[in-house]
Amino acid sequence: HAPHELQLTAIPYHYHEGFLPETREQFQSSFLIYDDFISVEEEQSLFNEAISNFRETERKHWNAHNLPVIQRLQKFAFEPHLKLLPYVHVLDLAPQGYIKPHIDSARFCGDIVAVLSLLSDSVARFVHDQSKDQIVDCLVRQRSLYVMKGSSRYDFTHEILRSEDSILKDPNDNERKIDKTRRISIVCRCEPDVTIRHKT
Residues near ligand OGA (CB under 6 A): 89, 91, 99, 104, 115, 158, 160, 185, 187
**Residue showing the smallest CB distance to Mn ion in the complex:** 104
Instruction: Report d(CA 88, CA 168) in Å as an integer.
Output: 29
Q: 51 touches which of ligand OGA, Mn ion, none (CB within 5 to 8 A by kind)? A: none
Q: Which is nearer to ligand OGA, 70 or 99 (CB)?
A: 99
Q: Are 134 and 18 in contact (CB under 8 A)?
A: yes
Residue 92 makes contact with Mn ion by CB under 5 A: no
Q: State the virtual CA torsion across 18, 22, 27, 28 in degrees, nearest 10.
A: 100
- 21 phi/psi in degrees, rounded to 5: -55, -40
Q: Are 115 and 197 in contact (CB under 8 A)?
A: no
- Extended strands (E) in 47-200: 56-59, 88-93, 99-102, 113-118, 122-128, 135-140, 145-148, 156-160, 167-169, 175-177, 183-189
Report 25-44 residues binding Mn ion (CB under 5 A).
none
Q: 153 touches which of ligand OGA, Mn ion, none (CB within 5 to 8 A by kind)? A: none
Q: Could you tell me how many residues of this chain bind Mn ion (CB under 5 A)? A: 1
Q: 90 touches which of Mn ion, ligand OGA, none (CB within 5 to 8 A by kind)? A: none
Number of H helices, E strands in the chain: 4, 13
Give strand pairing partners of 122: 140
With CB under 5 A as the contact rule, the residue among 35, 104, 137, 155 that binds Mn ion is 104
Q: Which is nearer to ligand OGA, 14 or 183 (CB)?
A: 183
Q: Are 13 and 136 in contact (CB under 8 A)?
A: yes
Q: Which is nearer to ligand OGA, 118 or 134 (CB)?
A: 118
- Of 13-21, 26-34, 100-108, 118-126, the window that binds Mn ion (rule: CB under 5 A) is 100-108
Q: 99 touches which of Mn ion, ligand OGA, none (CB within 5 to 8 A by kind)? A: ligand OGA
Q: 141 touches which of ligand OGA, Mn ion, none (CB within 5 to 8 A by kind)? A: none
Residues that bind Mn ion (CB under 5 A): 104
